[in-house]
A and B are shown apart, each in its own frame.
Chain A
């Protein structure tokens, strides 16, 4: 059986990229909001890390949606998903969340960068100014709703797959939680990487704050992965077959142990723990750790998507 082509495979890597980007966007927004709320407050707009998140979040979600549309067999009919709804369909509800998310995301970005935008505009476009002022007054509500939407979006990437009842590895209650947590950590990593690339201080308060959340997040992710596979194996039957097949010695087994567990979780965790002791963080350190996390999450999405479709009931 080849790793990328086998009987019963319906969804290919574009879906994995879509799930990766949607989770990453939600994660980046989540951390940008946390940074502003707990650390930066009104200084948020000139933090390179918040700026990076404000660029990454919309670009990732647009890119993801673009890939999704491109992957339809009838891309030009995409508008039908927006017009027709089905309450029992995770995809339909997810698209609804995605639309609301993008709207609120831009409102939030406008709030955070209001001063900068006002500076740039000067005396021009008074309507935009008034809109901005109005948005800033609603900032608390916008932030609250955006947090809810971001978490929904992150979980949705998992629910999309767990609704496939014919595949025991996907039809698993832990999957949405696993995708939510790994999506958040990929968002954190993308924010860090983008931030230092925008010449943010690799030893700054933002990096320390995000790294502080990252360790518990990685530990939770390892716990979830363990629960995920232990649960499958204990269920017996095709669930056990699916789990052992995925974790075995094939191509995907290597991706899992070396890529997801090794590069994605163990190395960033080790780096993070080591960094606690010695104080100074360098550009290379932050960039490499973040890249490893990103690679790990990206591989996890592909691993779950492909091995999930390998074993049916």
Chain B
């Protein structure tokens, strides 16, 4: 018995050695769910003012063109509810559905390869498509159902606040620029002088499914138009 116990301990020792070796090889991007030590200067967020939105879908079209999003999938959707009231006084409510750039992102937590990651410098949740194997775990894990498999690259894709297309050139996201009623505001949460922070301080806003602990960074300003719904 003594012998077998020692052998067992030896085996456990080997397991531990393996585990520490693994610590070296694991992906550097993967630990991004833990808070960054140095607090970065930038934390991007977006506000959708549902009072201003008219449901024209200009944001969807602009995003499709700028970010080369193929037909059949979309990085952003505008969900319509209603109509409320009697014709001709009818009204609708519109709400934006797109990546919420969660601070505690479930998609990042579950991704086996670290392909889904949070850019620590900007707080943007993005996909490194070179690493993505298409297991779709992130798609199932995202409570907002905004991720999809890009039909051409066959990797996971979603809104990245135009990180690679427009932000790289110092421009505002395509959807923000395209909106005819200025319903979308994009900016830096850490900058008290930004339009985004000023808007959030001026009007009450809500975020979707905060009870899941995802700490989303897509804010909505609720419309008071229409009916009271239970």
Binding site for B on A (CB under 8 A): 8, 10-11, 72-74, 77-78, 80-81, 83-92, 95-96, 100, 137-142, 144-145, 163-167, 309, 312-313
Tell me the smallest distance from the CB of B173 to a CB of chain A, in Å. Answer: 25
The verdict on A141 contacting B7 (CB below 8 Å), with A78-B133, A92-B112 known, is: yes
Task: State the CA gap A90–B141 with chains docked (Å).
Answer: 11
The listed residue (B22, B108, B136, B209) touching A10 by CB distance below 8 A is: B136
Task: Assess whether B30 is interfacial by the CB under 8 Å rule.
Answer: yes
The verdict on A85 contacting B27 (CB below 8 Å), with A77-B133, A80-B113, A166-B145 known, is: yes
Interface contacts (Cβ under 8 Å), in number, total 133
The listed residue (B9, B108, B143, B154) touching A166 by CB distance below 8 A is: B143
| Contact across chains for B133 and A89 when beta carbons are under 8 A apart | no
Some 28 contacts from A to B, beta carbons below 8 A apart, are A72-B135, A74-B133, A74-B154, A80-B131, A80-B133, A84-B27, A84-B112, A85-B25, A85-B27, A86-B30, A86-B113, A89-B110, A89-B137, A91-B110, A92-B30, A95-B112, A96-B22, A138-B10, A138-B11, A141-B7, A141-B9, A141-B11, A141-B12, A142-B11, A163-B110, A164-B140, A166-B141, A166-B144
Tell me the smallest distance from the CB of A230 to a CB of chain B, in Å. Answer: 22
Residues of A within 8 A of B135 (CB): 72, 81, 91
Task: Assess whether B162 is interfacial by the CB under 8 Å rule.
Answer: no
Task: State the CA gap A11–B138 with chains docked (Å).
Answer: 11
Closest to B117 in A: A86
Task: State the CA gap A187–B71 with chains docked (Å).
Answer: 45
| Contact across chains for B11 and A10 when beta carbons are under 8 A apart | no
Residues of A within 8 A of B111 (CB): 86, 89
Task: State the CA gap A96–B108 with chains docked (Å).
Answer: 18
Task: Assess whether B178 is interfacial by the CB under 8 Å rule.
Answer: no
| Contact across chains for A81 and B140 when beta carbons are under 8 A apart | no
Task: State the CA gap A11–B141 with chains docked (Å).
Answer: 11
Residues of A within 8 A of B15 (CB): 100, 145
Task: State the CA gap A87–B4 with chains docked (Å).
Answer: 31
Task: State the CA gap A74–B18 with chains docked (Å).
Answer: 28
